[in-house]
Chains A and B, each alone.
Chain A
Amino acid sequence: MAIGQSVKRKEDARFLTGRGVYTDDINRPGQLHAVIVRSPLPHARIAGIDAGETLAAEGVVAVFTGADMAADGVGSLPCGWLIHNKDGSEMVEPPHPPLVAERVRHVGDQVAVVIAETRAQAKRAAQLLDVDYEDLDAVVSCADATEDGAPLVWDEAPGNTCYDWELGDREATDAAFERAAQVVELDLVNNRLVPNAMEPRAAIGEYDPAGGNYTLTTTSQAPHVVRLLMGAFVLNLPEHKLRVVAPDVGGGFGSKIFHYAEEAIVTWAAGKLARPVKWTAERSESFVSDAHGRDHVSHAELAVDEQGQFLGLRVRTVANMGAYLSTFATSIPTYLYATLLAGCYRTPAIYCEVRSVFTNTVPVDAYRGAGRPEAAYLLERLVDKAARQLGIDRIELRRRNFIPKDAFPYATPVALEYDTGDYEATLDLALSQADWDGFESRREEAAARGKLRGIGASTYVEACGIAPSAVAGALGARAGLYESAVVRVHPTGSVSVLTGSHSHGQGHETTFAQIVADRLGVDIDAVEVVHGDTEIIPFGMGTYGSRSLAVGGSALFKALDKVVAKGKKIAAHMLEAAADDIEFADGQFKVAGTESSVALDEVAFAAYVPHDYPIEELEPGLEETAFYDPANFTFPAGCHICEVEIDPETGAVELVGVTVADDVGRVINPMIVEGQIHGGLAQGIGQALLENCVYDENGQLLTSSFMNYAMPRAADLPSFDVGHHVTPCTHNPLGVKGVGEVGSIGVPPAVINAVLDALAPLGVGDIEMPATPERVWRAIRDARAAG
C-alpha cells in the first residue's frame, strides 16, 4: 500500500544535486534580455518618454513603451472574478495594460521595456531612459482611499471603490444583535505581506516564424491559466499557437498563480524581434511587482447570549486591491473570506460587508490562505475577546459554540455547506499535546525568570478546492475550477501521469505516483508524473487554494478508474471470461473465484500489440483522460496552540511552543503533509510576529528588500509539534481535503492570542500584527501608564 506511507520524494534527486531546471536556468540561442523600466513614483502622468540615449546605448536592440503595445492591439491583463455590488451593478474594472502609456499608478508600475544583447547592457540602458513624469497625489492605505476627497486612482472609480459587496442576512443579523445579552467588538488590521517565494519570477518568450508558434517559459503555478488569459485577452493568440511551460518553480504561495505583465511583454517582444527574450526579476523588483497579500481593515461585532452562545456576527471590511485588479484579486476578500466567517461555530446569523478599494500600491491578490487567514484571524481574535469579556474560559466558549460532529453536513449562513468535521477531536488532541492544563505552572516558572508567558489557541476551518464550477460561475468566476489528468500505461506497464496541477514544492511527483502505485499495483519508480507544459497536458487550472490533491488527485483517481475498467475488458478477453467477473487488485486482473489472472503489464502489452484483442469493441492502447469537477469545497479544520514568552523589558516575543492538530482529510504521504504544515506555520508566524509591508504616506515602499522586510529565519522559529485527526472528505474519491494553507490560516490568531494572554495581567487588551518588540513594549508601557 503506497498510500499512507512517507515515501521519500522522487523530485529530490534533481533538487539535491543542483539539477533542477528553473526558468532562469534556461537560455535559448540568440536570446535577448529584457529589463523593465518601472515607475519610481506612486502616481504620475507620463508626459513623454525620450528613448534616444537608451536606443544609442551599447547592445540595445529595442525599446518598447505602452504606446507601442497599444498600437499593436495588445489588450489588458484580465481579472478572473466579477463581483457584483450590493445593488446588483458590476464592480469597477479598470484596464491593466502590460505597459502603461498614460498614467503610472504605483511604484514599480511598468513603463517600458529595454531589450539588449546582455542583461547588463539592458540594465545600463534602462537607466538612461528619460521619462517625463507629472506627479499626481497618491492614496496608499485603506483609510486614505476611503476618505472624502481622496485623490482618485481611477477616474471611473468614485471614492476609489472597486466594489461594495455584501454576504449574509442583514436583517436576521441585526435582529440577533437586538436580543444579545452582550456585544463584543473588535477593530483589526490584517497586515499587508509580500509573498517572497525564494525564486524570483522570470519569463522567456520565444517565437518561431516558420510555424507562427509562440512559447512562454515562466515561473507559474498555473501555465494553462496563463495561456488562456494571455492568449485570449492580452495578445490575441489562439491556444494552438501558444505553448506555456512552467518548469521547476521555486515556490509560489499564490504569487505565481497570476498572469503578469512581464509574461505578455516578453512573448509579444519575442514576436516583434523574432528572437527569444528573457526577463528575470531582481528581488528588489519582486517587492514592487509581485502581487502582495492580505491588507484588510475590519470592524467586527459578535452578539452573544448569557450562556455565551453566539447569536450573530456583523463584519465590515475594507480591502486594499492595490492599483490594478490582479487575476483573482476580487475573489479573495469576498468568496474566500466572508464565506468563512462562520468558522467552526453555529452562529445562526452572519452579515458581512466588504468594500474593496483602489490605492497607489502594488496589486494585492492571493497569498497562502487568501482570504481564509483574514477570516480566521478576525473570528479567533473575536472569540478570545468574547471569552474575556464574558468571563468564560476561552476553550469552553469554543466548545459551547462548535458545530457538533453529528451535525454534518452543515449549512452555514454564509453560503457554504461543510461536509464533515470533528472540531472537538482536533481541539482535544491539540490541548493534550500542548499540555494546556499544565500551563499555569509554566507561567509561574517563567515569571520567576522575569518572563511573561502566555498560551493561545485558535480553532479554524478553511475551504479548499474552490468548487463546483457551476456554483463559482454563478458567483462571478470567469473560469472553471476542475482539474484534468491523463494516465498513460505504456506497453510494458510503466505509467506516465499528465496532470494539470503544477508542483512547485508540494511533491506532486511523489504523492500522485503513490496514488498510481496504490491503484495499479505498480512500483512507484515505474510512475512518472509530468506537469507544467500546455503542449503535453490536456488542460489544467493550476495549483492554488490547496486544491491539487482534492481536485487534481481526484481527476487522477477517475482516470485510473477508467484505466482499470478498460483493463478489465482486455483481461476478460485474454482470460476468456466476462468483464463483470474480472477483479483487479495488486496489479493483477483476476477472474473472480478462480486462480486465473493476467498482470497489468500483460494487459498493457496486449492493448498496444493487439494481435489477439477485442478490436471490434475496444480501441487499442491503454490511456485514459479524466476531468474532475468537485461537488463541493473541502473543509480542513483544526486547532493551533502557541506558547510565547515575552521579555517585558524589550517587548521581544519568543515563540516557545507550537502545537497543532489538523484534520486535512485522508493523508497520502504523512511526511509531505507535515512538511506542508510546517511551511504554512512559518509563514503564519511570520505574519504574526515579523512580516509587514509598509508604504510611507506618499506611496513609496519602505520595506523594499530583505534588509527591512523581516522574513522568518531558522532562529526565529521553534520546532513544531504536528498531529492529525482524520475525518475523510465525503465527496471526493480519495477522502482528502487539502493541507497547503492550514498553517498560515490557523496559526496567526493563536500567536496573537498567546501574546495577549501573556500581557493580559498587565491590562493589555489588543495588539496588531506583527507583534514586534516595539509594539509589545509600547502596549506594556501604555497599559502601565493607564494603571
Chain B
Amino acid sequence: MNIQATAKRAMRDAFGETLVTLGGENSDIVVLTADLAEAIRLDAFATAFPERFIQMGISEADMMGTAAGLALAGKIPIATTFAIFATSLGNQPIRVSIGYNKANAKICTSHGGVTVGPDGATHQAFEDVALMRMIPGMTVILPADANEAAAATRAIVEHDGPVYMRLGRIPTPVFSHPDQGFRIDEAPILRDGRDVAICAMGIMVSMALEAADELASEHGVEATVVNVHTIKPLDKGTVTDAARRCGCVVTAEEHSVLGGLGGAISEVLGATHPVPVERVGVADTFGESGEPDEILEAYGLTSAAIVASALQAVGRKR
C-alpha cells in the first residue's frame, strides 16, 4: 500500500484543536501548562474552559505533582510542556507521584527530538522516550502525523493510566486518514514487503514510507513499513511477525539510538526472533543549533539514511 501525503501540518495544532472538542465532551479533563500555553496550542482550550485550565508557571516538577493530585481525585489532567523539560525537570514526580501511584495523568509534550532546531542542544530531547519507557506502567506514544495526533489524543483520554505522548513542533507530512482511529495496542502496517521491515516512530514514519518507495524503485527491495506509534506497550506480535517475514529490521526514530525504539525492538526480537537490526536515529551525542532540515540531515535522520540502513540490513541476512 502506498500512502501519499497530502499536505503538511504540525501535530501540536491538531492536539490543541482536539483538546477543545474533548473538553466539551468530558468535564473531567483539566489542562495544565508551565508557561507554554501558546507554544502547545492551548489558547483555545483556555478560552473555552478557563475553570479547567491551570497555569503553573515555570515549574515542571510541581506541574507533574499537581497533575498527579488532580488525577488521584478523579480528574483527567493533561500536563503539557516541551519534551525535554517534562522528562528531565519533571522526572522524579513523574516516577513517584504519577507512575508509582498509577495516576491517570497524561503528559503531553511538543518540541520533541531535533526539530526544535535553532534553540540548540539544551532544548532538543533525544532521551525522553528512553526515560519514560523505564517508568513501570507508563504508556509511551509518538503519533506519526497530525491526523494521528488528533486520534491519539482522544485515545489517551479514554485510556485509564499514565501516558507520555510526544508531539512534533514543525509541520510534517499528513498521510493518515482523519477517521482512521487509534488503537494503543496495535502498530499499523502501512506497507507490505518481504525483504526488510522498517519500524518507525513519530516523524520518521513518513520518511520510512519515502524510503520504501525508493528501495522498491531503485534497488528492487520490497519493504514492510510498521508505524510504531506506541513504543510502550510495544505491539510485539506485529514486530515479530514482520521480522519473521522479512528476515531483517531497520528502526527509525527522532531520538537517541540508545534506549528508544531501536532499543525496544532489539529487546523484543532478541527474545522472539533474532534477526539483523539496523538503527537509524541520533548517535550518543548532544544536538546543536540549526534549521530542522539541516539538523535532520546532519544527524542522519533522513529517508536516505533509512535506505542505506535497509540495504545494509538486507546484506547481513544469511
Query: Do A and B come from the same complex?
Result: no
- Which residues does B use to contact A, with CB under 8 Å? none
